Structure 1
């Protein structure tokens, strides 16, 4: 079921014209940058976007302009864990087996999860309760188990679906931001 929903959502994203995609993401950014969670965060965790994901480059640039620290994860497949590292224009990046750009752990500064105020959690689709279908690795669900900061998803409205089938280990995000505005999820309690 998750696989089908993932494929359907990715197909809908692919059907958006470049102009429509850019217009919607620009609107999404405006909503995000007005949020208290964004404005109060000193350290933001996010992944490097690729393909038809909402581009995170503008988030990184805005965060730097506002004096925020940006950190990006590196995944460790051997133990299915990930560690966030500070990301600057000088950070040495490697391409992982998923094609993600990740900081080189041998020359990067790790950031403890207690220092990350706002975590922008990637995903293919999300429901109104904050549950998501990611890319299948389960890295974020494991990482977020004891994370105490604010979790937020950025997605276009075509990525919002009625119901995500959930499993015991799934962790919902607390906020969803799309081109239509911000939505506090109904299940999230921290």
Structure 2
């Protein structure tokens, strides 16, 4: 447990959330991920957007395979991130199916080299973002490398930034820095949370 007498750091929250996620069983993750996907896919701005970027989940994260498959079936241009470790940046790359993915940096599924189709971040309409923790103001704590913070600075202001999380990952507040980019809304298994 975190000592409330001292200021809670991002690293404290990362450790706590990583521990909580490890306590979840796969069935619980799967069931909650299905509900989260249903909430996300019901949104009008998802239905009305053509170019959508979605993360490919790591173990313990909200699963995104169904989201990606449903978006592809709906004829959307689906884009996934590719980690560029040399510059600690993300490349947006279009995929046409989950079979184009292979384990890349950090064990995250990314397009195979022959399926890298770069997409300019300026055309993204929606970016679906993972996180270890979020707060009710849309602030996010990731794994600490800054990949998403750097990338989100390149997207147009009209692009909707949507965080996916389990209920326990949404806190009243999290520490923020000047370069942190907040989400426009957060979706959990209990519903769509508009940020304050």
Give the Å deviation of 1:18: 3.3
Residue number among 170, 174, 187 corresponding to 1:160 in the alignment: 170
SS at match of 2:80: strand
After TM superposition, list the pairs within 5 Å mapping 1:54-65 onto structure 2.
54-65=62-73
How far did residue 72 of structure 1 move? 0.9
Change (3 A) 1:9 1:62: same
Aligned partner of 1:79 in structure 2 is 87
TM-score scaled to structure 2, two decimals?
A: 0.87
Which stretch has the larger CA shift, 172-181 or 16-25? Answer: 16-25
What is the CA RMSD across the aligned residues, in angstroms? 1.8
Offset of residue 105 of structure 1: 4.8
For residues 61 and 151 of structure 1, the distance between their equivalents in structure 2, rounded to whole angstroms, comes to: 20
Moved over 4 A (4+): none
Taking structure 1 as the reference length, the TM-score comes to: 0.90
> Equivalents in 2 of 1:26, 1:70: separation in Å?
19
**1:52 maps onto 2:60 in alignment:** yes
Aligned residue-pair number: 186
Give the match for residue 125 of structure 1: 133
Structure 2: runs of 5 or more not aligned: 1-8
SS at match of 1:120: strand
Per-residue CA deviation, residues 47-85 of structure 1 (Å, 9 max, x unaligned), is 211211111100111101111111111121222222111
**Which residue of the partner structure matches residue 6 of structure 2?**
none
SS of equivalent to 1:98: helix
Partners of 2:77 and 2:55 in 1: CA distance = 14
More contact order relative to length (CA 8 Å, sep ≥ 6): 1
**Unmatched tracts of structure 1, length 5 or more:** none
Q: 1:17 to 1:109 in 2, by over 3 A?
A: closer
Alignment of 1:8-157 (within 5 A): 8-89=16-97, 92-105=100-113, 107-148=115-156, 149-157=159-167
